[in-house]
């Protein structure tokens, strides 16, 4: 069995808020094989975003191990984590989080500024990424001139432009109507199935389970259930749940 791309072992995350602690994640263990399209589902406040933040190395666990692409993220310093993120993770947010003063093309170019590529190469790659999401013609537009669905596609282009192993999306369709949501889900599916990216997405959309390979269901910080999604591409069995 190949190394899973993601392995969480007994991961907990406690937020200290004044006197009482918030146990956002409690003893979560799971693995996700490379190239899968995975969904994290569960009610609001169940710890989905917290889990994503640990996977992408934006946050660190209070306990347990987070291993992504063979790297134990717990060991990395803040700066090392930032560098690691810039190479291995593409991030997609619910509200797109594009930089308003930069054009679509410049937004997509942004992560490449952290690489050694020269400007010509950066722009060439950013254009390519915009073409992939079908927005090559809108390169010069400011985010405010684009619809929500288009902005999220620009964000996807920004997430894939560095050719990362892992794409993390927190409610990427949460702010979109059904038609645009479908377009985004299809894009993510293609990234996973055609470009062999591992995509982990948080979603509230019940229809989303039809699109993904595997669903993790969280409740109150605990991994309650793991099941195959409609795309049914689960190549490696997912393991998880509290011991």
Partner 1 sequence: MSLPISYSVRNVRARLRRTSLTIAVIALAVVASAVFLALISSLQRTLVSTGSPANLVVLRKGSDNDGSSMLTLEAYQAIRFFDGIARNAEGQPIVSPEMVVQPTVRAVSGTRENVLARGVEPMALVVHDRVRIVAGRMFRPSSGEAVLGAGTVGRYQGARLGEELAFGRRRWRVVGIMEAAGSSFESEVWVDARELASDANRPFPYSGIRLRVAAGADRDALVRRIEDDPRYALEAKPETDYYAEQAKSSRSLYVLLVVLAVPVGIAAGLGAANTMFAAVQARTVEIGTLRALGFSRATILRAFLLESFGVAMVGFAVGAVGTLALAAGIGAVLGDIGFTAATFTTNLVALRVGAGDLAAAFLFAAAIGIIGGLLPAWRAARLRPVEALRKA
44 near ligand ADP, judged by CB under 6 A: yes
85 near partner 1, judged by CB under 8 A: yes
Note whether 168 and 59 are within 8 A (CB).
no
CB of 48 to Mg ion, least distance (A): 5
Contact track, partner 1, 143-162, x by CB under 8 A: ---------------x----
Long-range contacts of 11-18 (CB under 8 A, 24+ apart): 11/51, 11/54, 11/61, 11/63, 11/64, 11/65, 11/66, 12/61, 12/62, 12/63, 12/64, 13/47, 13/50, 13/54, 13/59, 13/61, 13/62, 13/221, 14/62
Among 3, 15, 177, 195, binds ligand ADP (CB under 6 A): 15
Q: Answer positive or negative: Cα dihedral of 36, 210, 214, 58.
A: positive
How many C-beta neighbours within 10 Å does residue 132 have?
Answer: 18
CB of 38 to ligand ADP, least distance (A): 15
12 near partner 1, judged by CB under 8 A: no
For partner 1, which is the closer residue by CB, 3 or 82? 82
CB of 7 to ligand ADP, least distance (A): 20
203 near ligand ADP, judged by CB under 6 A: no
Stretch that binds ligand ADP, among 40-48, 76-84, 190-198, 203-211 (CB under 6 A): 40-48
Stretch that binds partner 1, among 26-34, 109-117, 188-196, 228-236 (CB under 8 A): 109-117
49 near Mg ion, judged by CB under 5 A: yes
Contact track, partner 1, 17-56, x by CB under 8 A: ------------------------------------x--x
Residue 226 binding target from ligand ADP, Mg ion, partner 1, none, CB below 5 to 8 Å by type: none
Q: Residue 93: phi, psi to the nearest 5?
A: -115, 160
Query: Which residues, 6+ apart, have CB-to-CB distance to 145 below 8 Å?
Result: none
Virtual torsion, Cα 26, 233, 126, 70, nearest 10 deg: 50
Note whether 41 and 205 are within 8 A (CB).
no
> Residue 112 half-sphere exposure, CB side, CA atoms within 13 Å?
24
Note whether 126 and 108 are within 8 A (CB).
yes
Query: What residues make contact with Mg ion under the rule CB under 5 A?
Result: 49
Query: What residues make contact with ligand ADP under the rule CB under 6 A?
Result: 15, 17, 22, 24, 42, 44-50
Query: What residues make contact with partner 1 under the rule CB under 8 A?
Result: 53, 56, 58-59, 79, 82-83, 85-87, 91, 93-95, 97, 99-102, 110-111, 113-116, 158
């Amino acid at each position: 069995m190949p190394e899973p791309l993601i392995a969480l072992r007994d991961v907990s995350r406690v937020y200290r808020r004044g006197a009482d602690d918030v146990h956002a994640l409690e003893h979560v263990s799971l693995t996700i094989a490379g190239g899968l399209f995975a969904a994290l589902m569960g009610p609001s406040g169940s710890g989905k975003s917290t889990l994503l933040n640990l996977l992408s190395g934006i946050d660190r666990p209070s306990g347990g191990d987070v291993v992504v692409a063979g790297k134990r993220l717990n060991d990395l310093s803040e700066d090392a984590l930032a560098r690691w993120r810039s190479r291995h993770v593409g991030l997609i947010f619910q509200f797109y989080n594009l930089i308003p003063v930069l054009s679509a093309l410049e937004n997509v170019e942004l992560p490449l500024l952290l690489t050694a590529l020269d400007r010509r190469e950066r722009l060439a790659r950013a254009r390519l990424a915009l073409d992939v999401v079908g927005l090559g013609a809108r390169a010069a537009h400011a985010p405010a001139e684009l619809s929500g669905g288009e902005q999220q596609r620009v964000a996807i282009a920004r997430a894939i432009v560095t050719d990362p192993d892992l794409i993390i999306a927190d409610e990427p369709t949460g702010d979109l109507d059904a038609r645009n949501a479908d377009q985004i889900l299809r894009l993510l599916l293609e990234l996973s199935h055609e470009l062999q990216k591992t995509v982990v997405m948080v979603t509230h959309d019940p229809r989303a389970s039809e699109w993904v390979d595997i669903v993790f269901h969280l409740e109150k910080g605990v991994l309650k259930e793991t099941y195959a999604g409609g795309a049914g591409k689960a190549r490696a069995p997912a393991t998880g749940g509290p011991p």
